[in-house]
Every structure is written in C-alpha cells, then in structure tokens.
Amino acid sequence: MEKEVEMSIKRFMAQELQKGESLSEIQKLVNEKFSQHMTYMEIRILASELESVDWKALDPRAQAEAAKKAKEEAEKKAAETAEAGDGTPETAEGDAPAAPAGAGKTVVELSKLARPGMMLSGTVKFASGSTAEWYVDNMGRLGLENLKGEKPTPEDIEAFQVELENVARKAMGR
C-alpha cells in the first residue's frame, strides 16, 4: 500500500475512532471509501499505529504554519538584537541563543527515530548552507553522510561539534 494512501486511511480511522465507531465498522467504511480490501487484522494493526503517529509533523499545512512562525520569530529576534546595539544578546546561562535554520549559524537536529547500529543520528545545516546527515555509531564514532552542497569548512565542523554536544546534553537531560 502506498504511504499516502496509508496515511489517508489512518487519518480517516482516527476521525472515525474519535466518533466512537468500532473497528469492524471502520473496516467496512475504509473498504468502501478507499476501494481497498482490508482485513479486520490489517485495520487493527493500523489502529495500533495511530498512537505513535505525530499528525502535526505529517500535515503540510501545520508544517508551513510552523515554518512561517519560526521565520517571524527569527525576524523579531534579529530586530531586537539590532536594537540592543551589541549584536550578541545573551541568555540567562550566557550561551548565545540558537538561531533558526538558514540564519547563518550551524543547526543540529536529533532524529527521534533510532537507526540500526547507531546511538544517535540526525541532520545538520552548516552556517555555509551545506546540509548533511550525521550519526554516532555504537563505538562512539562520529560520521557525516549524504552531504549536499559545498564541503564543510573547518569552522563549520567545529561549530557542528559544539552544537552536537549541546543537543546531546539536552537529549540526555543534563
């Protein structure tokens, strides 16, 4: 089954479950509405996956809205920074605040999904504009793959390592 069709079916199922419909009734509705022949077990398996789905992350409208909001906040922070005069606002802890992606700063994101054989993984957008996927394997070795754009400069790599350390600390609750 195609991912898009499966996601549509899951959205439909979530709506019907909220209305109080039984799985057997949902099976009939799915088979009619989506022209699919799904067994009760297949419906039940899809229903079990509904709890772990982050619907906002899959909704294109919510993603566009979040991106717009992040851009507005970045512009607001930039205006406040310009008004402050020194150009480097500080947080209560003394660390420079994190800039949104595309603001000329290295941004490291930690993946919520564990990759096989990896302790941690995620994505990085370097200050130079290049992007890559990063990982820390079970031996503790750091690696980059799927680089898009120019090769990162030594400064990019240094900033990446600092940001990665910050992200890892937050993830571990330290």
3-state SS, 127-172, equals: CCCCEEEEEEECCCCEEEEEEECCCCCHHHHHHHHHHHHHHHHHHC
Q: How many CA atoms lie within 13 A of 152 on its CB side?
A: 25
Question: According to DSSP H, which parts of the chain are helical?
Answer: 3-19, 23-33, 40-49, 55-58, 60-84, 154-171
Which run of H or of E encompasses 1? none
How far apart (Å, rounded) are the C-alpha atoms in residues 8 and 59? 11
Cβ-Cβ contacts under 8 Å for 150 (sequence gap 6 or more): 128, 129, 130
Residue 154: predicted pLDDT: 86
CA distance 122 to 49: 23
Q: What is the pLDDT of residue 4?
A: 85
* Longest Cα separation, the chain: 65
pLDDT tens sequence across 137-170: 888 888 888 888 888 888 888 888 888 888 888 8
- Identify the segments of the chain with pLDDT beneath 50: 53, 58, 86-103
pTM greater than 0.75: no
At 96 the pLDDT is: 43
